Structure 1
Amino acid sequence: MVNRRTLPAATLAAAAVLSLAACGGGGGKPGADDKIAGAGGGGASSAAPDPSASPGAERPAVELPKDMKNVFEGGGNGDPVVEAVLRDSEGRINSLDEAIHTRSLERPAFGFYQTGEAARGAAVWVQGFYDDDITWTGTVRYYDRKVTVEGKKKDEATLSYCSDESKAYNKDLKSGKTSDAVDDTGDSLVFYSTRLAKNDKGVWQTTDVYSKRGTSQCQ
């Protein structure tokens, strides 16, 4: 039994789409064409200048409970563009967990940091937590983060990273009970490969996500 659901993969270049792991049934899931708050525009009320030129650019506040913690390690090299990519990727990850915690896809950060296939896949993933009446508790560690900046204008990037979910557990909202630790620690490791594009407000939005659980790339 894995600790947390695996984020479904959106199309990434020629990569195949992965199915949602252990998705709960029921209606009310966002469809492919459903509008996601703020997606595609970085949030009209949260417009910000280029983050590579203005490290203090305003971003939506993200609030997580004390028992839900993400730890981000490494990846920064002092390059302002790389640092901006990492920062907005962290914002996206935290925004997904905020949506899980608050039981709302309407939080400003959710659509601010992602668009397109990434936003639609994330909405389905979060909805699965709602359908199963669960959240998660513990700590997830993100590591081995690697950024490659692309494009003539340096407005595109790829970011790969690993996550260790061995200290994170599903939590039933009705009973308060948490899932057991996994027997195979490899099942707690997930490899991610993502694509990002800088929008006209200077926000590095994630556009595509590919993920694979239990991969040797994260050992």
Structure 2
Amino acid sequence: MTHRHLTAAAALTACTALLLSGCGSGDDPEGKSDDKIAGAEDASSSSPSASAPDDSKRPSIKLPKDDVLIFENRKTGDPKKDAVLSDNEQRLRAIDAAIIEGDPESEPVYFYSARDAAVSAAKSIQSYVDDDLSVTGTVRYFDRSVTFRSDGSARLTYCSDETKGFAKERKTGKVLQSAPDENSYVFYDTRLDRNEAGVWQTTGVKSQRGAEQCQP
């Protein structure tokens, strides 16, 4: 059974040179986002004095009409939380665009990702490239919730509904559809750090496919 973001290839054993100085799983399996990530350069800063990002310098991300990402709870009324949600949204769009373009070194992915999250994104994109697959359909992101830690980092949790999102063969365009089941729903627990440019970069990701809290 093929699910959109469940890659068919085995995890890569080497990291893309563009990424960081260290390799890792890309996930924070215990959700302990305050831990230091060994071997990875800390390119982000959670300093509250970081200036707001210059929108003119943000990379352009374009998705084809057959790839639709729906984000619920986009506005909380808190500008800081809304900025976290927005930058996470752009990261997810960037990853889809990179998969569709077949480009593991796509610049927008690393604009919104750093450390382990950048490594895991590269592995995921590369596995689609290796299997000659792309993505299509609609994925809905819901139950998005932002909290802030004492160190200035953000914790963002959310669910995804992939019942209408699928992988597709790049050469033939054949959509690899499968009947929806509990594994079509995924729970994400992520860490974001605000860098010196004011961008909330995702730096750690923990995910659980078939999570009970995301089921309809």
Offset of 1:75 from its aligned partner? 5.2
Q: What is aligned with 1:113?
A: 112
1:31-42 alignment, distance < 5 Å: 31-32=14-15, 34-36=17-19
Q: Which moved more, 1:94-103 or 1:71-80?
A: 71-80
How well do the aligned residues superpose, as a CA RMSD in angstroms?
Answer: 2.4
Q: State the secondary structure of the residue aligned to 1:200.
A: coil
Alpha-carbon separation, structure 2, partners of 1:188 and 1:201: 35
TM-score (structure 2 length as normaliser)? 0.79
Alpha-carbon separation, structure 1, partners of 2:13 and 2:69: 26
Q: What is aligned with 2:158?
A: 161
1:70-219 alignment, distance < 5 Å: 70-74=69-73, 76-151=75-150, 155-182=152-179, 184-219=180-215
1:90-148 Cα shifts (integer Å, max 9, x gaps): 01101101110111133221110000000001100111100110101100000000000
In structure 2, runs of 5+ residues without a counterpart are 21-40, 45-49
Alpha-carbon separation, structure 2, partners of 1:93 and 1:68: 12
Q: State the secondary structure of the residue aligned to 2:159.
A: strand
1:100–1:135 CA contact under 8 A, matched in 2: yes
1:145-181 Cα shifts (integer Å, max 9, x gaps): 00002235xx310000000000011111122211122
Alpha-carbon separation, structure 1, partners of 2:202 and 2:115: 8
Runs of 4+ residues over 4 Å off in structure 1 = 39-42
1:71–1:139 CA contact under 8 A, matched in 2: yes
Offset of 1:78 from its aligned partner? 1.0
Offset of 1:30 from its aligned partner? 7.4
TM-score (structure 1 length as normaliser)? 0.78
Alpha-carbon separation, structure 2, partners of 1:110 and 1:33: 13
Relative to structure 1, the CA distance from residue 83 to residue 67 in structure 2 (aligned partners, 3 Å threshold; closer, same or farther) is same
Alpha-carbon separation, structure 2, partners of 1:32 and 1:173: 23
Offset of 1:69 from its aligned partner? 0.9
Alpha-carbon separation, structure 2, partners of 1:121 and 1:199: 19
Alpha-carbon separation, structure 1, partners of 2:168 and 2:89: 23
Offset of 1:22 from its aligned partner? 2.8
In structure 1, runs of 5+ residues without a counterpart are 7-20, 43-47
Alpha-carbon separation, structure 1, partners of 2:174 and 2:42: 37
1:30–1:123 CA contact under 8 A, matched in 2: no
